[in-house]
A and B are shown apart, each in its own frame.
Chain A
Amino acid sequence: MLIDALTLQLGYNATLVAIGAALLGIAAGAAGTFLFLRKRALVSDAISHSTLPGVGLAFLVMAAFGGDGRHLAGLMLGAALTAGAGLLCMHWLTRHTRLAEDAAIGAVLSVFFGFGVVLLTVIQTVSIGRPAGLADFLLGATAGMLFGDAVLIAVAGALAVLAVWALRRPMTLVAFDAGFAAASGIDVRRVDLAMMGLVMAVTIIGLKVVGLVLIVALLIIPPVAARFWSDRSDRVLGIAGVFGGLSGFIGAAISATAPSLPTGPIIVLTAFVLFTLSMLFAPGRGLLVGWLRHRRQQRRIHLRQGLLAIAQDLPIYERYTLNLLVKAGLARPDGVATELGRLRATKACRDESRWAVARRMHSHEATVSRYDGLRPIEAVLTGDEIREIDRQLAEDEEGCA
């Protein structure tokens, strides 16, 4: 069943929904990256919650004109209008009052959502149109979606992806360094506006598939997951798009296999699994790689300290150090150094003395400031320079070489 779903063999509608969700995910991941880099990830929360009153109003208007009030494009238009109003309120609050952005976000999201709930109960009361299914906009539901709706979502998703592609350069620049972008002649406010417009578009397209409570997740989780894989903003953008697309596609496919698997939550949990895998296993910033790097550094330091102890005929008390030395064939288990161990110890000690001299010589100041206590001196200085240091060393008659 799942294989059928993943290979798009669950019927025409399910296929179209899966493709639509994938396109939506790509657009959301990419648009979310700009928000994330600009440290405004939670603005999307305010936008998504303020779509609810728009859905309610659009339903009332359409039902008042005699339809059943469930035309998806109309509902999406209403959602866009109040989402825009919410965004304006938020901007106005942060610009014209002393309130910080987080308070403005929270105020807009709770008040607009609350008003939306009031409208939903009004709709139940006035009994016009066919309000069943309006609550699906909270959590997303693709089961029994009309063919036209699925087409609409797929087409709008494709348009959003195109818009991200067209705007990627100015937006990356602004997200990465707004000051530099302004200096290179980009209208930062207009790009910010475009970014918000894009986020709004993604939210509205996602209403039916993911639902307004959870669409935020598609805008936040893929970029955060992608951040583990690269430090370059253009790559983060691409990876976030891929992760978003995968989440949308796999999530929609899984949820198509059973009615008790709601689409929105499954898509979000798929994204969260991708995030967890990234956090654990990504090269560079992943936890596993970080832990291995830490272990290697620890081993190098312990070996070095062990060698220096051997060179100065000091006993080694640390079990870990001794084990490392034994394993490398540099010492016997009772702590006595092998032939190789003595040789390496002498070398380590000579390095140490040479570094000590180098540290006193002004000509090597820049190099020495990078010394981390482990690097062999030959890796940094030339043969001539080392000979010069050795001459100094002989004059001082210190060290153990």
Chain B
Amino acid sequence: MGAEFVMLSLAPILIGVLAAIACALPGNFLVLRRQALIGDAISHVVLPGIVVGFLLSGTVSSWAMMAGAAGSAVVAVVLIELIRRLGRIEPGAAMGVAFTAMFAFGVLLLEQSDTSSVHLDVQHALYGNLESLIWVDARGWGSLLDPAALAELPPELPRIAIVAALMLIFTVVFWRPLKISTFDEGFAQVLGMRTNLIGFGLVIMAAVAAVAAFDAVGSIIVIAMFICPPAAARLMTNRLEHQVLWSVAFAVFSAVVGYVAAGYGPLWLGAEDAVSAAGMIATVAGLVLAIAALYAPSRRGSGVTADR
């Protein structure tokens, strides 16, 4: 666990952990509101925006791509609402129409444009490349105190850190309105809360988290972290406060164990190369959920009995 670990694994693990937390926090409310698949939809629709951002700026400068991603997320929300309202189509199907069509358009754009010189392809979009985000300048744990080395950290790290902090602030500041409007929308309205606005804000925050995490780690982690840790946490407790804490714990656990298992597991088993870290993190999150579904105290949800 020396210099090599700091150089090769510290940054990816931190990025994975922060991405997992940033997605799991809003994910708690999405799961409770039965909007869990919004994360899935968002992570698909950002593809055309990212490609357009790349084509316009000509580089993989992430700010142009983030702007494109945000733009296409907005287009998708508008498209879904149009189909739902004007066509009177149920929300699940409306979402299915919009996100598949936009993803197909993104793939087509990608195939038509010359992106062979940079690593922008569909595989990258789907499962990211967490392993490549290494900290080249690190010489050991001491580098954490060296400003010159710190300046060379992968740019994804500060970005995802900011977004994770933003999610934390959002969850803490709007805790009461989020909680009340999630469990009892009517009561929230009686208290004078703008429940539409809260719901919309939640979706926006989820989109921000998804886009930032997508940029760093690809869309599988995004979908898995939006759903698996909150769902597992939901089976642990009946109290929202505890659920959110559990979900963060599960997210961190999945990210760390998944990364280590992907990076070092094959070596321990005698193979030579590592396997996909993003895929492994999603797999570990799934295992956590499976164990929770089998043994967690509040898995049946028979009201307020188990842990009060």
**Chain A, interface residues (CB within 8 Å), range:** 35 or more
> What's the nearest-Cβ distance from chain A to residue B262, in Å?
7
Most buried by A among B31, B100, B272, B283: B100
> What's the nearest-Cβ distance from chain A to residue B279, in Å?
3
> How many B residues touch A, CB cutoff 8 Å?
66
Please provide the chain A residues from 16 to 51 with a CB less than 8 Å away from any CB of chain B in the complex: 36, 39-42, 45
B285 contacts the other chain (CB 8 A): yes
The number of inter-chain residue pairs (CB within 8 angstroms) is 213
A105 contacts the other chain (CB 8 A): yes
Contact of A220 among B39, B97, B235, B283 (CB under 8 A): B97
CA gap between A308 and B278 in the complex, in Å: 71
Q: Is the interface of B mostly helix, strand, loop or mixed?
A: helix
> What's the nearest-Cβ distance from chain B to residue A260, in Å?
5
| CB pair B299 A97 closer than 8 Å | yes
Given contacts A103-B227, A272-B104, contact A221 B97 (CB under 8 A): yes
Residues of B within 8 A of A1 (CB): none
CA gap between A220 and B280 in the complex, in Å: 30
Contact of A105 among B37, B271, B273, B278 (CB under 8 A): B37
Residues of A within 8 A of B86 (CB): 279, 287
| CB pair A111 B275 closer than 8 Å | no
Residues of A within 8 A of B228 (CB): 107, 110-111
A277 contacts the other chain (CB 8 A): no
| CB pair B101 A110 closer than 8 Å | no
| CB pair A125 B273 closer than 8 Å | yes
Residues of A within 8 A of B107 (CB): 139, 214, 262, 264-265
- Closest chain A residue to B258, Cβ basis: A114
Most buried by A among B37, B90, B279, B285: B279
B 257-284 binary contact with A (CB < 8 Å = 1; else 0): 0000010001000011111101111110
Given contacts A45-B40, A115-B282, contact A220 B96 (CB under 8 A): yes
B226 contacts the other chain (CB 8 A): yes
A213 contacts the other chain (CB 8 A): yes
A355 contacts the other chain (CB 8 A): no
> What's the nearest-Cβ distance from chain A to residue B284, in Å?
9
CA gap between A268 and B123 in the complex, in Å: 19
B155 contacts the other chain (CB 8 A): no
Please provide the chain A residues from 62 to 111 with a CB less than 8 Å away from any CB of chain B in the complex: 92-93, 96-100, 102-103, 105-107, 109-111
- Closest chain A residue to B94, Cβ basis: A224
Residues of B within 8 A of A213 (CB): 44, 103, 126
Contact of B231 among A99, A139, A275 (CB under 8 A): A99
B144 contacts the other chain (CB 8 A): no
Residues of A within 8 A of B88 (CB): 285
> What's the nearest-Cβ distance from chain A to residue B226, in Å?
7
B46 contacts the other chain (CB 8 A): no
| CB pair B282 A97 closer than 8 Å | no
Please provide the chain B residues from 48 to 107 with a CB less than 8 Å away from any CB of chain A in the complex: 83, 86-90, 92-97, 100-101, 103-105, 107
| CB pair A97 B36 closer than 8 Å | no
Residues of B within 8 A of A96 (CB): 293, 299-300
CA gap between A111 and B300 in the complex, in Å: 22
Please provide the chain A residues from 310 to 345 with a CB less than 8 Å away from any CB of chain B in the complex: none
Residues of B within 8 A of A135 (CB): 123
A237 contacts the other chain (CB 8 A): no
Most buried by A among B39, B90, B285: B90
> What's the nearest-Cβ distance from chain B to residue A370, in Å?
24
Please provide the chain B residues from 280 to 308 with a CB less than 8 Å away from any CB of chain A in the complex: 280-283, 285-286, 289, 293, 298-301
A 270-285 binary contact with B (CB < 8 Å = 1; else 0): 0110010001000001
| CB pair A269 B108 closer than 8 Å | yes
A195 contacts the other chain (CB 8 A): no
A120 contacts the other chain (CB 8 A): yes
> What's the nearest-Cβ distance from chain B to residue A104, in Å?
8
A145 contacts the other chain (CB 8 A): no
CA gap between A227 and B90 in the complex, in Å: 11
| CB pair A117 B127 closer than 8 Å | yes
B189 contacts the other chain (CB 8 A): no
| CB pair A265 B35 closer than 8 Å | no
> What's the nearest-Cβ distance from chain A to residue B72, in Å?
15
B 12-49 binary contact with A (CB < 8 Å = 1; else 0): 00000000000000000001001111011000100000
B 191-209 binary contact with A (CB < 8 Å = 1; else 0): 0000000000000000000
B150 contacts the other chain (CB 8 A): no
B164 contacts the other chain (CB 8 A): no
| CB pair B283 A224 closer than 8 Å | no
Contact of A115 among B87, B286, B289 (CB under 8 A): B286
Given contacts A217-B104, A260-B112, A269-B101, contact A42 B92 (CB under 8 A): yes
Contact of A265 among B96, B105, B235, B282 (CB under 8 A): B105
B224 contacts the other chain (CB 8 A): yes
> What's the nearest-Cβ distance from chain B to residue A123, in Å?
10
| CB pair B122 A139 closer than 8 Å | yes
CA gap between A260 and B110 in the complex, in Å: 10
A 114-133 binary contact with B (CB < 8 Å = 1; else 0): 11111011101110000000
Please provide the chain A residues from 229 to 281 with a CB less than 8 Å away from any CB of chain B in the complex: 260-262, 264-266, 268-269, 271-272, 275, 279
CA gap between A223 and B94 in the complex, in Å: 11
B223 contacts the other chain (CB 8 A): yes
| CB pair A216 B100 closer than 8 Å | yes
B4 contacts the other chain (CB 8 A): no
> What's the nearest-Cβ distance from chain B to residue A319, in Å?
29
Residues of B within 8 A of A120 (CB): 276, 279
List 5 interface pairs A-B (beta carbons < 8 Å), by A numbering. A96-B300, A103-B34, A110-B40, A114-B280, A217-B104
Given contacts A106-B226, A110-B220, A268-B101, 10 further A-B contacts (CB under 8 A): A36-B93, A42-B93, A103-B231, A110-B227, A122-B266, A125-B272, A227-B87, A264-B104, A268-B104, A271-B101
Minimum-distance CB pairs A-B, first 9: A114-B282, A98-B301, A111-B286, A117-B279, A217-B100, A110-B224, A220-B96, A268-B104, A265-B104
Residues of B within 8 A of A (CB): 31, 34-37, 39-40, 44, 83, 86-90, 92-97, 100-101, 103-105, 107-108, 111-112, 122-123, 126-127, 220-221, 223-224, 226-228, 230-231, 234-235, 262, 266, 271-276, 278-283, 285-286, 289, 293, 298-301
